[in-house]
A and B are shown apart, each in its own frame.
Chain A
Amino acid sequence: MSQKAIKLLGGNRPKDKNNIITISLVVALFAIVELLKGTGHISNLLSGLLVPICMYITLAVSLNLVVGILGELSLGHAGFMCVGAYSSALFSLVTKDMIPMTWLRLILAFLIGGLVAAIFGLLIGVPVLRLKGDYLAIVTLAFGEIIKNLVTILHLGVDSHGIHFSTESVAALHLQEDGKILIKGALGITGVPKSSTFEIGFIIVMLTLLVSLNLVNSAKGRVIMAIRDNRIAAESVGINITTYKLFVFSLSAFFAGLAGVLYSHNLATLTANTNNFGYNMSIAILLLVVLGGVGSIRGSVIAAIILTALPELLRGLSDYRMLIYSILLIVIMLFNASPKLVALRERYSPKNLFKRIFRKKQPEKEANADV
């Protein structure tokens, strides 16, 4: 591999092998799925999950930038996704006839979705990032809910007189005969071209991963982690904390916006409710981040793949699947984070077990040495 390529994959220091592993893992998985798809070995159920999996990976990795790298708990990530989804869906709907090239329209849609989300991230970040800890978390949750709430009452239409909008009903838009309704309040947007594919999802995932991994290993990334580890110390060596925090926050919002574009271009009707853009979604994304390991980008990728596929894989259990899912979640968390269980697990981990067996041959020697 050329020096430049290695650098692109996350720098050239020895510890960056880790990043190359992450990237190769994703590429390998992509290749396997493509191979299976090509030979027709993939079930309908799984192929329907491919775009959502890409979306969840993007969401989890981007939230991990805020939670893991910046060290602030955000509970409003779905709000940025919502902004990205709606702005890009609106764009695609309007330009469906104007721009015939699907690829160009899609690239523009991604750009618009991401940028609008990033702008929202910046605007929300300015007040939010002044707060700390749980207060910051609740304010991000509040912003996410406000975004979802505003989107559900928004009615938008366009006619020869220009753009009309209302918060009440379609009738209140007073459209001319040639008018076209774009957003129908709680009924959302219909007719967005379904142009999200697994390949596009893969490109978005790779983009998110490359930027995130490079950021973590860059000088900027180290500054951000210094802020996370000790804000006051970082401030006292002259780091402008607000700038860096805002940067990470809006970068994370940008990627969430991209995930929103993937989402909105994968549906026939785009509506906003608690489960897709509300706090339930924000919490579901946070769940991926924590299960994968806060601060571990590879962990986020793996958790997103497993947890998105899990409820579908448990489908055989029909009614019990969500119950089992929740029990699994609690058990995994206890097993992963409980101080006692972690100690127990470390004692019996394959590595330490091997050590103990190996050491058994000479226990007396050690004991004597101690005396």
Chain B
Amino acid sequence: MQFLSFLISGLSLGSVYALIALGYTMVYGIAKMLNFAHGDVIMVGAYLIYVVSTMQHLPLWVGILASVAGCTVLGMLIERLAYKPLRGAQSLAVLITAIGVSYFLQNAALLIFGSSPKSFTSVINRKPISLFGGELVISWEAILTLVVSVLIMIALTVFINKSKQGKAMRAVSEDRDAAQLMGINVNRTITLTFAIGSALAAVAGILLCSSYPTLTPYTGAMPGIKAFTAAVFGGIGSVPGAMLGGVLIGIIQMLANGYISTQLSDAIVFAVLIIVLLVKPTGLLGKKINEKV
């Protein structure tokens, strides 16, 4: 019973990681950059819904809409202002710029909201379900997180595999120059990727803060790193890999948390990552890269 409850909280946390990891992996696949600011977009998304729905007392759906729309615009803006001028530059330069953006978002949030944690109101207000005479308690947040994440992942998979824009995204990630020669607007495709990734981050932020309701300017940092780990775990650049990696990392973390030690759970997650990468150096579902001389 205990195992089941750990498993369910792990699945729910893991699906949030998967949503964030999708943003990392899509951006990596298409723009070949590690977007270290992605974690902080989660935090911005959570603050947006906090401002709109908790502080201004507007209906919840307005808050969710504002959060998703705000993050989408933010993602596109970051791409346009900070990353686009660096297209064709060294990848390390882009990485450092992303870190700069991450510092900027954190410090802007620190200035506006202060460092004291805000208590986030969950998006659903219902008592948790009690099964087997109270032995297994499942929170509605966990169920909502699972359902929403699964729906989003299905929608995203369909979008990438069936739609024209999805095809363009796959083409750009395969070979940017060839895609451009085929008449695909590469810049617009990259912007679209950032928009989708940031919208997913907003959803992830709302879900994450519903389950773990403390909100600080640094809320996004650790989930961001974990999701990045998840993306690499599954094979960075691979969309199903990010989903699998996210869910696995979440489950491992929760099981380690429950059975071994709360303080060691992060270390265990990273240790599993290291072992997996040593056995499969490009992640679980990553493509093998052939070396050329």
Q: Which residues of A contact B (CB under 8 A)?
A: 67, 73, 127, 130-132, 134-135, 137-139, 141-143, 145-146, 149-150, 152-153, 167, 232-233, 274, 279, 283, 286-287, 290-291, 294, 319-320, 322-323, 325-327, 329-330, 333-334, 336-341
B291, A232: Cβ atoms closer than 8 Å: yes
Residues of A within 8 Å of B92, CB to CB, are 67, 73, 290, 294
Contact partner of B82 (CB less than 8 A), chosen from A146, A290, A330, is: A330
B229, A138: Cβ atoms closer than 8 Å: yes
- Decide yes or no: A326 and B89 within 8 Å by CB, A135-B282, A142-B229 being known contacts: no
A138, B273: Cβ atoms closer than 8 Å: yes
Which 7 A-B pairs have CB atoms at the shortest separation, nearest pair first?
Answer: A337-B93, A326-B103, A142-B270, A329-B100, A149-B267, A326-B104, A330-B100
B108, A139: Cβ atoms closer than 8 Å: no
B129, CB-defined interface residue at 8 Å: no
Residues of B within 8 Å of A150, CB to CB, are 264, 267
Query: Can you give 22 A-B contacts (C-beta < 8 A)?
Result: A130-B281, A135-B236, A139-B277, A141-B225, A142-B270, A150-B267, A233-B293, A274-B221, A283-B99, A286-B96, A290-B95, A290-B96, A322-B110, A323-B107, A326-B101, A329-B97, A329-B100, A330-B100, A333-B96, A339-B86, A339-B88, A341-B85
Please name the residue on chain B nearest to A291 by beta carbon.
B96
Contact partner of A334 (CB less than 8 A), chosen from B86, B264, B270, B283, is: B86
Q: How far is the CB of A279 from chain B (nearest CB, A)?
A: 6
A146 to B110, CA, bound (A): 28
A139 to B271, CA, bound (A): 9
Provide the B145-180 mask, 1 if CB < 8 A to any CB of A, else 0: 000000000000000000000000000000000000
A327 to B92, CA, bound (A): 18
Contact partner of A146 (CB less than 8 A), chosen from B101, B221, B271, is: B271
Q: How far is the CB of B64 from chain A (nearest CB, A)?
A: 28
Q: How far is the CB of A303 from chain B (nearest CB, A)?
A: 11
A333 to B277, CA, bound (A): 31
B261, CB-defined interface residue at 8 Å: yes
B281, A135: Cβ atoms closer than 8 Å: yes
Contact partner of B100 (CB less than 8 A), chosen from A320, A333, A339, is: A333
Q: How far is the CB of A216 from chain B (nearest CB, A)?
A: 19
B103, A139: Cβ atoms closer than 8 Å: no
Secondary structure class of chain A's binding surface, majority of residues = helix
B274, CB-defined interface residue at 8 Å: yes
- Decide yes or no: A146 and B104 within 8 Å by CB, A333-B96, A337-B86 being known contacts: no
A135 to B110, CA, bound (A): 32
Contact partner of A329 (CB less than 8 A), chosen from B86, B103, B263, is: B103
Secondary structure class of chain B's binding surface, majority of residues = helix
B107, A322: Cβ atoms closer than 8 Å: yes
Residues of B within 8 Å of A283, CB to CB, are 36, 99
Residues of A within 8 Å of B87, CB to CB, are 339
Q: Which of B69-114 contact A (CB under 8 A)?
A: 82, 85-90, 92-97, 99-101, 103-104, 107-108, 110-111
9 additional A-B residue pairs with CB within 8 Å, beyond A127-B278, A145-B266, A326-B101: A283-B99, A286-B95, A319-B111, A323-B111, A325-B103, A333-B97, A334-B85, A334-B97, A337-B97
B49, CB-defined interface residue at 8 Å: no
Q: How far is the CB of A82 from chain B (nearest CB, A)?
A: 13
Contact partner of B278 (CB less than 8 A), chosen from A130, A290, A339, is: A130
B85, A139: Cβ atoms closer than 8 Å: no
Contact partner of B267 (CB less than 8 A), chosen from A127, A146, A327, is: A146
B82, A334: Cβ atoms closer than 8 Å: yes
A291 to B93, CA, bound (A): 8
Residues of A within 8 Å of B261, CB to CB, are 153, 167
B104, A327: Cβ atoms closer than 8 Å: yes
B96, A287: Cβ atoms closer than 8 Å: yes
Q: How far is the CB of A345 from chain B (nearest CB, A)?
A: 13
B228, CB-defined interface residue at 8 Å: yes
A322 to B225, CA, bound (A): 21
- Decide yes or no: A338 and B263 within 8 Å by CB, A134-B236, A287-B99 being known contacts: no
A337 to B100, CA, bound (A): 14
A132, B99: Cβ atoms closer than 8 Å: no
A145 to B96, CA, bound (A): 20
Residues of B within 8 Å of A291, CB to CB, are 96
Q: How far is the CB of A271 from chain B (nearest CB, A)?
A: 14
